[in-house]
Amino acid sequence: MQSISSTSPRNKLINMGIILLLLATFDALFTDFGIQNHLITESNPIMNTIYNVNVAGFYFIKIALPVLLIGIVSKLESKPFILILLNIAISLYVGVLMLHLFWITLAFIGL
């Protein structure tokens, strides 16, 4: 008998995709806030161009890519390398968000 709290491997992939979606959304919000307040710049040249042309398009891409990923991983069989890749992506996003928070904090305290 399977316990109620256990999740299937596919659900784990979907949950990781949702975590990426949340992280991407916060990244977009922090990036927009930082750019609007002249605290940071977008270092990705493609996303910088998109941001400068259409901020809504910037948000759309930042959010649509993880949603697309959730759709893809919901169809996949859980494999160790997919979990590793998702963990790396999540770790990188957490690192980027920490940098955004660090830079924004430094700007607010005047350093």
CA distances from 58 to 9, 10, 43, 106 (A): 32, 29, 13, 25
Instruction: Sketch the domain layout of the chain as residue ranges.
Output: 9-109
Answering whether pTM is above 0.85, one says no
pLDDT for 31: 92
Across residues 56-64, what is the average pLDDT?
96
Across residues 54-82, what is the average pLDDT?
89
Mean confidence (pLDDT) of the chain: 87
Q: What are the structure tokens assigned to 59, written together? A: 């948000």
Tell me, what's the pLDDT at 28?
94
User: pLDDT tens-digit profile of 18-56?
Assistant: 999 999 999 999 999 989 988 888 989 999 999 999 999
Both tokens of residue 96?
A: 């980027």
Backbone angles phi and psi of 32, in degrees to 5:
-60, -45
